[in-house]
Structure 1
């Protein structure tokens, strides 16, 4: 297999990898309050993760 003649710079390698970060993340509804949140994360509006309260929300 061919080897690169020179080291690719950080910016050039990062330009190639940007398509990995541009995907749409599906949002899910919180089972407790019904607000949309990122999957497998604590709900920012009510502080619940699944069926238990992890954080107390600040109001």
Structure 2
């Protein structure tokens, strides 16, 4: 099997790995003040884009 002729420098190795990071989720704050992921209903109050989309747990 072929072997590298020279040692890969730390700089070149890290530049190659620059795109391997885990993306940070885009967190927004709901009207109730809780942090939620964008384009998803709030898990606490159940609202999305200013309107109620999920029923309350205490309403049953």
TM-score, normalised to structure 2, is 0.55
Name structure 1 gaps, 5 residues minimum. 1-18
Higher-Rg structure is 2
Greater RCO (CA < 8 Å, at least 6 residues apart): 1
| TM-score (ref. length: structure 1) | 0.56
Structure 1 moving runs of 4+ over 4 Å: none
CA-atom RMSD in angstroms: 1.7
Give the Å deviation of 1:57.
3.1
**Paired positions, count:** 39
Q: Which residue of 2 aligns with 1:27?
A: 27
